[in-house]
């Protein structure tokens, strides 16, 4: 049988496709229900730890092997659903929407008073079915602007004051910049870059429009205050000399990002503003044992060594570069801790503060520098600096 569009219907195929789509919908409903259960359990965990919501988020991050930021969002959503958005939580339990969609409602209604959020939650409960995340976010904004017009106008003004820029590492040599800007400014920036990209394309550029827009954005951001020169910034890349000399193609590591291929490491190393550093490693372990002193204004040698060795925050699941971290004594100075490479570790400000919270214990094995974090519930999470290169096999006896 041939339809009007010329497609041939295969007997039984339409039924099989219908079964598969129905199964997808059933799985999605089940997943939403399980997410509701998980978030309810997280909220109960928060209720058993009054005043320690941030601590709970850190423990959730370690327990689920997710980033602290993702865990904080889960905890915030769990509390909002169980205390302020009962209709939205009920919709999750019924399989109507998942946690991501529910977060759109929680984010938009988060600034409302308890009375107003109850009204908004009730009104939104009639608009949840069949909507995608963008539709839900828009519906939530409309309801919030309706139930609290003055407050909504003030929050718009505050959001504009809270403009920010974030860096999200994506892996495979790529990262994403997220700029929260006033809508008219963001739109104007994009329009300008898009216009220039299309002009280049029309003039014969062979790159895609997306590539041209990305390149133009990068060039604009890296200009100095006069709009002409380039701004120098620090990026730490660990690469073996044998790789730079093209004797092998071992991956390199970029702090805060992860592994990058040899060709990209060589490209970065040959850049006009690149400074090379010499790091001696123990061939049997791959860990650094000495640094070359080639900087114009070197930092304290020990401080520099620890940051080079750790590369990132030592807390499990945290990838903030050690150059942006604080150095901490694994054995407190007031408890006769010593300032040595075996006793110092790199911790971001958040995890440094967490160390002093009740129930959290950090210990470092001075032999192999393994950090063990013990959470308030008694779970243990270990981390150790990775070697800069693969350790050599021990010689035969």
pLDDT for position 224: 60
Q: CA 62 to CA 44: how far, in whole Å?
A: 18
Nearest to 74 by CA among 111, 49, 51, 102: 102
166, β-bridge pairs: 178
Query: Do residues 96 and 130 lie in contact, with contact meaning Cβ atoms separated by under 8 Å?
Result: no
pLDDT for position 72: 93
- Measured torsion, CA atoms of residues 337, 340, 346, 347, in degrees rounded to the nearest 10: 10
pLDDT for position 24: 93
| Helix, coil or strand: residue 374 | strand
Q: Name the strand (E) or helix (H) holding 54.
A: helix 53-64
Q: CA 332 to CA 22: how far, in whole Å?
A: 59
DSSP per-residue codes, 129-149: TT--HHHHHHHHHHHHHHH-H
**Residue numbers of the chain with a pLDDT score lower than 50:** 1-5, 231, 292-299, 333, 336
Query: Do residues 133 and 104 lie in contact, with contact meaning Cβ atoms separated by under 8 Å?
Result: yes
Half-sphere exposure of 92 (CA within 13 A, CB side): 26
Which residues, 6+ apart, have CB-to-CB distance to 223 below 8 Å? Answer: 229, 230, 231
Q: CA 106 to CA 41: how far, in whole Å?
A: 18
Query: Do residues 128 and 136 lie in contact, with contact meaning Cβ atoms separated by under 8 Å?
Result: yes
151, 161, 301, 321 from 158: Cα distances, Å: 10, 5, 44, 30
- Measured torsion, CA atoms of residues 230, 319, 166, 117, in degrees rounded to the nearest 10: -170
214-240 in b/e burial notation, b at 16+ Cβ within 10 A? eebbeeeeeeeeeeeeeeeeeebbbbb
């Amino acid at each position: 049988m041939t339809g009007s569009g010329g497609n041939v219907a295969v007997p039984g195929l339409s039924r099989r496709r219908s079964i598969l789509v129905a199964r997808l919908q059933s799985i999605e409903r089940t997943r939403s229900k399980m997410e509701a259960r998980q978030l309810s359990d997280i909220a109960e965990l928060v209720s058993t730890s009054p005043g320690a919501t941030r601590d709970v988020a850190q423990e959730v991050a370690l327990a689920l092997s997710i980033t602290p930021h993702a865990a904080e969002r889960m905890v915030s959503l769990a509390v909002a659903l169980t205390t302020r958005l009962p209709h939205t939580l009920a919709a999750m339990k019924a399989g109507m929407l998942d946690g991501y969609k529910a977060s759109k409602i929680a984010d938009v209604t988060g600034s409302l008073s308890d009375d107003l959020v109850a009204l908004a939650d009730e009104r939104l409960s009639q608009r949840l079915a069949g909507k995608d995340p963008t539709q839900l976010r828009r519906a939530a904004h409309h309801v919030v602007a309706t139930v609290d017009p003055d407050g909504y106008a003030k929050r718009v003004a505050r959001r504009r004051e809270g403009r920010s820029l974030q860096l999200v590492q994506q892996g495979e040599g790529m990262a994403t910049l997220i700029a929260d800007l006033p809508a008219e400014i963001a739109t104007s920036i994009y329009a300008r870059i898009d216009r220039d990209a299309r002009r280049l394309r029309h003039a014969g550029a062979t790159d895609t429009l997306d590539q041209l827009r990305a390149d133009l954005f990068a060039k604009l951001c890296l200009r100095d205050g006069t709009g002409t020169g380039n701004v120098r910034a620090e990026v730490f890349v660990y690469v073996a000399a044998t790789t730079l000399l093209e004797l092998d193609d071992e991956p390199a590591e970029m702090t805060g990002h992860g592994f990058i291929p040899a060709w990209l490491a060589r490209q970065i190393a040959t850049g006009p503003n690149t400074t090379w550093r010499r790091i001696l490693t123990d061939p049997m372990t791959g860990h650094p044992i000495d640094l070359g002193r080639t900087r114009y204004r070197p930092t304290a040698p020990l401080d520099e060594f620890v940051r080079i060795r750790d590369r990132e925050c030592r807390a499990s699941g945290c990838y903030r570069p050690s150059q942006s971290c604080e150095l901490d004594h694994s054995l407190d100075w007031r408890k006769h801790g010593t300032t040595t490479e075996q006793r110092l570790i790199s911790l971001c400000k958040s995890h440094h503060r967490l160390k002093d919270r009740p129930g959290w214990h950090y210990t470092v094995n001075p032999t192999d520098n393994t950090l063990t974090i013990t959470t308030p519930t008694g779970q243990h999470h270990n981390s150790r600096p990775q070697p800069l290169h693969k350790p050599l096999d021990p010689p035969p006896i």
